[in-house]
Amino acid sequence: RTALKLGMIPADGIGKEVLPAAQRVLEALGSSIPKPTFIPLKAGWEEFQANGKALPDETVKILKEECDAAMFGSVSSPSHKVAGYSSPIVALRKHLDLYANVRPVSSVPIPNQKSYHQCDMVIVRENTECLYIKKEEIKTNDDGSKIALATRQITSRASSRIGKMAFEIALRRGQEREQAKQAGKDVWWSGEPKVTIVHKSNVLSVTDGLFRESVRAIKEGTDRYNGVKMEEQLVDSMVYRMFREPEIFDVAVAPNLYGDIISDGAAALVGSLGLVPSINAGDDFVMGEPVHGSAPDIEGQNIANPIASIRSAALLLSSLGYVEPAARINAAVDAILTEGQYLTPDLGGKASTTDVTDAILKRL
């Protein structure tokens, strides 16, 4: 590869403030990555209001035909039904078959935080089905009262491939920890690599039952994962244990909705949603995206934390095989966080989005 064509979809709210920060960091990497070109692409609630489509066909076409990868910001989806509107990020994950949402949540000791938990886990969220297929209907009973129904789809195919992804990640993390230990680095996770299957099969024995069985079969069907432990946690007690002792988790794999919820929760453990990155990954395409939404409460003030997006760019690079430049970005981010001089208000600081980005760029 001599060039890297990246589709950039800031969408709404703080997405428009944090995605440019990630772009600046990618631009600063010089010859350690193929020269990136950035293709601005439209999507989102504002785009819907202006032109009637939340995800223009043109955006999907360019992503599929011209881009090597993409970055997405955040979308301001309304909480009430709007005729013709449908979340573009949910649609993009489907169109590009980005079946895994990989969300590493790891803590760095940041000065003066209300809560600090040692935590270094990866949440692997199924990204194409569950309740997010959005098959909802509403009916009126004879007495005039209403009943709303939603279809929750779990397939063995989607559950198996997300399960495989989780075991592969656990295997790789185990190897990386071994290497780090041998290099004399401080690795506080002492357990063996582990995948925790998150479900609620005790109640939803058919749907979550299929998810659980499909993921279990991945380990049971091969010797490849003999060194990776498998355990299970019901989703409600997962939340409890994750808040009490997050350090016991390595890789957690979950159906779409549970994965969405537990990863926002996990973000609280490491200080802020503004720190947690993700990639939407398929077999042919990858899209980096901060876990957070469009944060209307702070938009337009240049105070959004750009780190989730910057770390998403690093995650994107490492998934494309550019591991060393990704590590450089992460090291610069960690240094800024532990120093504590340039922190945005979500972390108790006074720095702006641009201040933090500038400081990270200086460190690179």
| Residue among 129 and 346 whose Cβ is closer to ligand NAD | 346
| Residue among 193 and 274 whose Cβ is closer to ligand NAD | 274
| Residue among 209 and 265 whose Cβ is closer to K ion | 265
| Residue among 261 and 364 whose Cβ is closer to ligand NAD | 261
State the binding partner of 294 from Mn ion, K ion, ligand NAD, none, CB within 5 to 8 A by kind: ligand NAD
| Residue among 14 and 154 whose Cβ is closer to ligand NAD | 14
Size of the site for ligand NAD (CB under 6 A): 22
Among the residue ranges 209-217, 252-260, 329-337, 347-355, the one whose residues contact Mn ion (CB under 5 A): 252-260
Residue from 23, 74, 214, 280 in contact with K ion (CB under 5 A): 74
| Residues within window 271-290 making contact with K ion, judged by CB under 5 A | 289-290
| Residues within window 74-133 making contact with ligand NAD, judged by CB under 6 A | 74-77, 89
| Binding track, positions 254-273, relative to Mn ion; x by CB under 5 A | ------x-------------
| Residue among 107 and 207 whose Cβ is closer to ligand NAD | 107
How many Å separate Cα 302 from the centre of its chain? Answer: 22
d(CA 125, CA 263) in angstroms, rounded, equals: 9
| Residues within window 166-195 making contact with K ion, judged by CB under 5 A | none
| Residue among 260 and 299 whose Cβ is closer to Mn ion | 260
Secondary structure (H, E, C), the chain: CCEEEEEEEEECCCHHHHHHHHHHHHHCCHHHCCEEEEEECCCCHHHHHHHCCCCCHHHHHHHHHHCCEEEEEECCCCCCCCCCCCCHHHHHHHHCCCCEEEEEEECCCCCCCCCCCCCEEEEEEECCCEEEEEEEEEEECCCCCEEEEEEEECCHHHHHHHHHHHHHHHHHHHHHHHHHHHCCCCCCCCCCCEEEEEECCCCCCCHHHHHHHHHHHHHHCCCCCCCCEEEEEEHHHHHHHHHHCHHHCCEEEECHHHHHHHHHHHHHHCCCHHHCCCEEECCCCEEECCCCCCCCCCCCCCCCCCHHHHHHHHHHHHHCCCHHHHHHHHHHHHHHHHHCCCCCHHHCCCCCHHHHHHHHHHHC
State the binding partner of 120 from Mn ion, ligand NAD, K ion, none, CB within 5 to 8 A by kind: none
| Binding track, positions 16-45, relative to ligand NAD; x by CB under 6 A | --x---------------------------
| Binding track, positions 303-322, relative to ligand NAD; x by CB under 6 A | -xx--x--------------
Contact footprint for Mn ion (CB under 5 A):
260
Contact footprint for K ion (CB under 5 A):
74, 289-290
Contact footprint for ligand NAD (CB under 6 A):
14, 18, 74-77, 89, 272-274, 292-298, 304-305, 308, 344, 346
